[in-house]
Amino acid sequence: MLLGMGFKASTADPCLFSRKESNGQTTFMLIYVDDILVAGFSEELINTIYKELQKHVKMKDLGQAKHYLGIEIDREKDGSFKLSQKSKIKQLIKTYKLEDSKGTLTPIETGFLSPSEETSPKLPNNNLYRKAIGSLLYIATVSRPDVSLAVNLLSRKIESPTESDWKAVKRVMRYLATTVDKSLLLQTNEEKTLMCYVDADWAGDSKDRKSTNGYVFQFAGRSIAWSSRKQTPVAMSSTEAEYVAASHAS
């Protein structure tokens, strides 16, 4: 079983270390600003590492990791992990005063980039919009691949958002509020296979005719990495758009 222990320290450089132990197992240590996360197969070994680090850096042992960088970690009996950002989502909903708003089952409307006959007024400034997109990007990147596309599309409007764009941002928040209990499950099984699924639309953005591609990587049947982004070149066919998407994933 992989164990995780959290520590508080005083360091400013983000680093990731891994070390092969004498028993053939691997121990990992992630350092981000003043937060250190050590993961390994032996609690005794983790404690040894903690004592060694204490000789050089002032630290505080926080025990088994339950929260890390806004990520909530739930440990299951079978050794799997559930990662979520419930507190972050609830804080977001409270910040933008959407506690009593009606929920939604989809993060964004179909055909969001399609041209509309109605012209939506521009927002007076984009400060609030930028702040909201920043928070949503962190959630989409860490634990919620289901909002990755929606957040990517909305981030394209960040320079000059309209009231319609802002309404779409709040729709993503309402969707997250509706699905706040969803978690990202990390576990293994006997068939440890790495799989990649990739797809692309073609000329989905009506303004510049550029395509959007996305991918998700799964290991042992569980999602470990994903992305949704606008393609740089203008694809001249759906086949070309698919090739560009596959290249990006590779």
Sheet with 26-32, side-by-side order of all strands:
15-20, 26-32, 35-40, 3-8, 60-64
Are 140 and 175 within 8 A, CB to CB? no
pLDDT in tens, 20-79: 888 888 899 988 888 889 988 888 888 888 888 889 888 888 888 899 888 999 988 888
pLDDT, tens only, 72-81: 999 888 888 9
Task: Give the strand pairing for 71-75 and 67-68.
Answer: antiparallel
* Locus of tokens 């928040």: 173
- Cα separations in angstroms, 244 against 145, 146, 152, 215, 237: 21, 22, 17, 12, 11
pLDDT value at position 6? 54
pTM (2 decimals)? 0.85
Mean pLDDT of 172-187: 95
Q: What is the mean pLDDT of residues 104-112?
A: 92
Structure-block tokens of residue 211: 């395509």
For position 3, what pLDDT does the model report?
A: 53
Q: How many CA atoms lie within 13 A of 29 on its CB side?
A: 18
